[in-house]
């Protein structure tokens, strides 16, 4: 019997790939990928059978991958970022289980958009954070907005993936602002680690000036009540200032 690797390729650029990901793709003779991701790893797939599919065909991709593995192939199913984070990992395990298929499945983790984007913004994720997808294709929007509200009430830093539905995004941000009641920093990064990367820093009251820039390869991070902007970076303090005096650098020394 073959094997399935569910591979996270990171945010896009070669510099954010892992060695484990390169090995898994090298070992695979079949690659199953959404068309855009197949292009991002084109340099690695020469001589392999590459099966591409459109965005909403995840179930088809999982089916093909499992069938190919049953035929004895080593298959790499490609996700951007990390395959657990709104990627293919859950679906592959779920379908293998529900169809009583006992094929070997190995997850290869990747740098998820939250980490890639946070790195570009400064250090917004240095305290407890919640990751929420604003895609209402599978989850009803009331359920999504309920999670947004709870995360805001918990004063989590909030990372918003899939901000494609503009009315839903506006409502989510309105709720966060209503709950937090203060003007916390908002970081918006489009195409992190890709050619057309754009980094935008604003606050809950000014972020809408970037609304037209937000597309399906954009991730938004809203800080917590302690986050602040300094030197054009978003900083979320870890809490050291509660126990230590941080004003200790003598710039004359």
Contact residues for ligand SAH, defined by CB under 6 A: 11-12, 79-82, 85-87, 112-113, 117, 161-162, 189, 191-194, 216-219
Q: How far is the CB of 12 from ligand SAH (least distance, A)?
A: 5
Task: Name which of 94 and 183 has its Cβ closer to ligand SAH.
Answer: 94
Q: How far is the CB of 51 from ligand SAH (least distance, A)?
A: 19
Cα(1)–Cα(103) distance, rounded to whole angstroms?
7
Task: Name which of 219 and 227 has its Cβ closer to ligand SAH.
Answer: 219
Q: Name the closest residue to ligand SAH (Cβ).
A: 81
Task: Name which of 113 and 202 has its Cβ closer to ligand SAH.
Answer: 113
Task: Name which of 2 and 58 has its Cβ closer to ligand SAH.
Answer: 58
Q: How far is the CB of 219 from ligand SAH (least distance, A)?
A: 4
Six-digit token string for 182: 């203060």
Q: How far is the CB of 134 from ligand SAH (least distance, A)?
A: 8
Q: How does DSSP assign the chain, residue by residue?
A: --EEEEEE-BSSSGGG--HHHHHHHHH-SEEEEEHHHHHHTGGG-TTSEEEEE-TT-HHHHHHHHHHHHHTT-EEEEEESB-TTSSSSHHHHHHHHHHTT---EEEEE----HHHHHHHHHEETTSS-EEEEE--TTTS-HHHHHHHHHHHHHTT-EEEEE-TT-HHHHHHHHHHHHHHH-S--EEEEEESTTSTT-EEEEEETTTGGGGGGG--TTEEEEE--TT-EEETTEEE---SGGGTS------TT-
Q: How far is the CB of 102 from ligand SAH (least distance, A)?
A: 26
Q: How far is the CB of 214 from ligand SAH (least distance, A)?
A: 9
Cα(22)–Cα(245) distance, rounded to whole angstroms?
45
Task: Name which of 12 and 185 has its Cβ closer to ligand SAH.
Answer: 12
Task: Name which of 87 and 223 has its Cβ closer to ligand SAH.
Answer: 87
Task: Name which of 2 and 187 has its Cβ closer to ligand SAH.
Answer: 187
Q: How far is the CB of 175 from ligand SAH (least distance, A)?
A: 18
Six-digit token string for 173: 């941000």
Spatial CB neighbours of 122, under 8 Å, sequence gap ≥ 6 = 187, 233, 234, 235
């Amino acid at each position: 019997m073959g094997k399935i690797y569910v591979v996270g390729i990171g945010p896009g650029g070669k510099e954010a790939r892992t060695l484990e990901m390169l090995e898994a793709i090298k070992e695979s003779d079949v690659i199953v990928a959404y068309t855009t991701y197949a292009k991002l790893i084109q340099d690695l797939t020469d001589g392999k059978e590459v099966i591409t599919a459109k965005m909403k065909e995840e179930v088809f991709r999982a089916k093909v991958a499992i069938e190919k593995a049953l035929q004895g192939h080593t298959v790499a199913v490609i996700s951007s970022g990390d395959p657990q984070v709104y990627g293919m990992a859950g679906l592959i395990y779920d379908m293998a289980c529900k169809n009583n298929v006992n094929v070997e499945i190995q997850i290869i983790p990747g740098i998820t958009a939250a980490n890639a984007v946070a790195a570009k913004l400064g250090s917004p994720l240095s305290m407890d954070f919640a990751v929420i997808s604003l895609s209402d294709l599978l989850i009803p929007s009331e359920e999504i907005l309920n999670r947004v509200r709870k995360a805001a009430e918990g004063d989590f830093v909030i990372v918003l993936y899939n901000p494609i539905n503009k009315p839903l995004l506006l409502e989510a941000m309105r709720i966060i602002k209503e709950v937090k009641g203060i003007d916390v920093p908002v970081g918006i990064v489009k195409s992190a680690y890709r050619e057309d990367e754009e980094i935008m820093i604003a606050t809950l009251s000014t972020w809408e000036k970037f609304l037209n820039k937000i597309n399906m390869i954009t991730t938004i991070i809203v800080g917590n009540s302690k986050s602040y902007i300094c030197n054009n970076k978003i900083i979320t303090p870890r809490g050291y200032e509660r126990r230590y005096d941080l004003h200790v650098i003598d710039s004359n020394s």
